[in-house]
Amino acid sequence: MNFNTILEEILIKRSQQKKKTSPLNYKERLFVLTKSMLTYYEGRAEVVHDANTLYIFAPSPQSRDLWVKKLKEEIKNNNNIMIKYHPKFWTDGSYQCCRQTEKLAPGCEKYNLFESSIRKALPPAPETKKRRPPPPIPLEEDNSEEIVVAMYDFQATEGHDLRLERGQEYLILEKNDVHWWRARDKYGNEGYIPSNYVTGKKSNNLDQYEWYCRNMNRSKAEQLLRSEDKEGGFMVRDSSQPGLYTVSLYTKFGGEGSSGFRHYHIKETTTSPKKYYLAEKHAFGSIPEIIEYHKHNAAGLVTRLRYPVSVKGKNAPTTAGFSYEKWEINPSELTFMRELGSGLFGVVRLGKWRAQYKVAIKAIREGAMCEEDFIEEAKVMMKLTHPKLVQLYGVCTQQKPIYIVTEFMERGCLLNFLRQRQGHFSRDVLLSMCQDVCEGMEYLERNSFIHRDLAARNCLVSEAGVVKVSDFGMARYVLDDQYTSSSGAKFPVKWCPPEVFNYSRFSSKSDVWSFGVLMWEVFTEGRMPFEKYTNYEVVTMVTRGHRLYQPKLASNYVYEVMLRCWQEKPEGRPSFEDLLRTIDELVECEETFGR
């Protein structure tokens, strides 16, 4: 090999995102081009990739042209050169140009690699024939300005953060991380903001309006409207029918025997241009115009839309960590308050971070878990953020015991929540709980993350009654006999399928089995599955085909979903994507016919 240096310069390398949850960032590296290879250095270590896609940015157009020219000269005699390339970046698990999901997928657009380096420019030809124009140069990025509107207030916690004020506009500068974007406010201040706190400024984007609640089913809408208890309280939410919207309205004067709730579908005209209406005589060009009109005129509704009811401004969503690239938390910033309970890992306490943000703090009992393995995994787990997952904010690893800092959920674990309120749940509320959990699990499945210990005890309930999945992935680090089989594998026996009993094979499909048991827990309002049997007896019974009985509160359709989850072979069970679609349909039936 020839190691004589042709070019050497500090360039900017984009991270390769080998995992879906890997961070997207840009770092300076020393690049060296020789006759044999292109390498870069991380500190003293030399990095050479055999087969991968690497995005490199030069500090100036002149530098870029020089590198491209030299690279073309060195590879012009190579026999193994691809004739197609991807004109757009690999982002969020696919190429943005052709949507292929394999990182090493062949290119989608032809490119004459050597046209500019080995051919001299020809003189202009006479205008005798109409010539085809040259193909456009592929654009690496969309350079148009992106303006967003803040849906929630955000207080900057680190020097590199930017404060958000609800309703204000911000210019996006960088999207190097899926959860934290760099932005500029109207005063010229710049910093990082949580991406889930803002929405695009577009006339047809409903997220910017206070009255819009994206992920809100009928049951939760009624709970929220009832809690506000204001005449004319309303919200606009996604309908159970995809692509449509529903106005949910509360009135105290609905007549004797009335529930006080009305749900109106926003209808569309068949004319062009399309218009929207609640009352046919009053059609408008957009949904915001409808809402503005009915704020002042009932026009066929039971009452005017007087008071927008929303979770915006009250329950801001969680963020992936407290700040950009912050996962290690200084324990001196934590205030410990009352004990919330104790689990496999140790005591859990209510606390505050920097005396203002309520958090749950788990003090890990020494010897309770494999700490070193968990610390590495925690960095990945922090990147998993979803409205139906309990957010991991960070860890304290520089002392003993280790602390795990998570989102605080006011109503505690789902199991206790069910048991303490037995006899007070309607079927649609119980089904809504299962829907919440399924949404969180579908997100984990989509990101190739296995829970391993899904059960009602490992789900938590917010003040608004939202159920969120907690402790995902934690079972791998448990050092407790309750979770250990004779072969040394760790699993909660009464929630596990045969392949886990027999071979310790965990997968999303073993999580699906556990979800079926969780549904059974929900519809029995917190009973213990197989309560009269030992773990050994449960293994024998399940292996022989025995399944949990149908709960009294579960309809035949709901129990059928449970039985699908308990198919003996993993391939016979539905995915969480399929389950969510089924449960959404059941919720729709409950909304349509269950009243």
362 marked as part of a ligand binding site? yes
Could you tell me the CATH number of the domain that includes residue 389?
Answer: 3.30.200.20
Are 468 and 542 part of one and the same domain?
yes
Q: Which of 453, 511, 578, 584 is catalytic?
A: 453
Are 12 and 106 part of one and the same domain?
yes
Q: Report how many domains make up the chain.
A: 4
Strands (E), 354-481: 357-363, 392-396, 403-407, 459-461, 467-469
Q: Which residue has the tokens 């996604």?
A: 238
Are 445 and 555 part of one and the same domain?
yes
Are 504 and 471 part of one and the same domain?
yes
Has residue 147 been placed in a domain? no
> Which tokens hold the place of 567?
């198919």
> Are the C-beta atoms of 451 and 441 separated by less than 8 Å?
yes
What average pLDDT values come out for the chain (595 residues) when binned by 10 residues?
80 72 72 85 63 80 86 79 77 70 73 53 49 50 74 88 91 88 92 90 77 82 86 88 85 66 88 84 87 88 88 73 83 88 80 88 74 68 87 86 90 96 93 95 89 93 92 56 43 89 87 97 97 92 95 96 96 95 83 45
- Cis bond before residue 387 (omega within 30° of 0): no
> Are the C-beta atoms of 565 and 522 separated by less than 8 Å?
no
Alpha-carbon span 556 to 429, nearest angstrom: 17
Are 389 and 460 part of one and the same domain?
no
Question: What is the model's pLDDT at position 417?
Answer: 97
Are 393 and 425 part of one and the same domain?
no
Nearest to 228 by CA among 213, 214, 209, 242: 213
Q: Which of 389, 407, 425 is the last residue of a domain?
A: 407
Are 370 and 481 part of one and the same domain?
no
Has residue 361 been placed in a domain? yes
Has residue 211 been placed in a domain? no
Question: What is the model's pLDDT at position 261?
Answer: 87
Q: Taking CA 436 as the corner, what is the angle to CA 434 and CA 437, rounded to the nearest 5 degrees? A: 65
Alpha-carbon span 214 to 151, nearest angstrom: 12
Are 396 and 284 part of one and the same domain?
no
Are 242 and 360 part of one and the same domain?
no
Has residue 336 been placed in a domain? yes
Question: What is the model's pLDDT at position 371?
Answer: 65
Q: Which residue has the tokens 């069910």?
A: 418
Has residue 140 been placed in a domain? no
Could you tell me the CATH number of the domain that includes residue 445?
Answer: 1.10.510.10
Are 432 and 528 part of one and the same domain?
yes
Secondary structure class of 135 (helix, strand, coil)? coil
pTM of the complete model beyond 0.75: no
Alpha-carbon span 96 to 78, nearest angstrom: 28
Alpha-carbon span 215 to 443, nearest angstrom: 14
Q: Which of 407, 426, 450 is the last residue of a domain?
A: 407
CA distances from 434 to 13, 386, 441, 451, 529 (A): 43, 16, 10, 16, 17
Q: Please enumerate, as own/partner, the contacts of 82-85 that have beta carbons within 8 Å and a separation of 24 or more.
A: 82/106, 82/107, 83/107, 83/110, 83/111, 83/113, 84/108, 84/109, 84/110, 84/111, 85/109, 85/111
Domain range for residue 262?
229-308
Nearby residues of 292 by Cβ (< 8 Å), 6 or more positions away: none
Strands (E), 64-216: 84-85, 90-91, 94-95, 109-110, 146-150, 169-174, 180-184, 190-194, 198-200, 212-213
Are 339 and 420 part of one and the same domain?
no
- Chain-centroid distance, C-alpha 81: 38
Is 207 marked active-site?
no
**459-461 and 180-184: which strand pairing?**
unpaired
> Are the C-beta atoms of 234 and 423 separated by less than 8 Å?
no
> Which tokens hold the place of 574?
């539905």
Are 335 and 241 part of one and the same domain?
no
Has residue 326 been placed in a domain? no
> Are the C-beta atoms of 388 and 468 separated by less than 8 Å?
yes
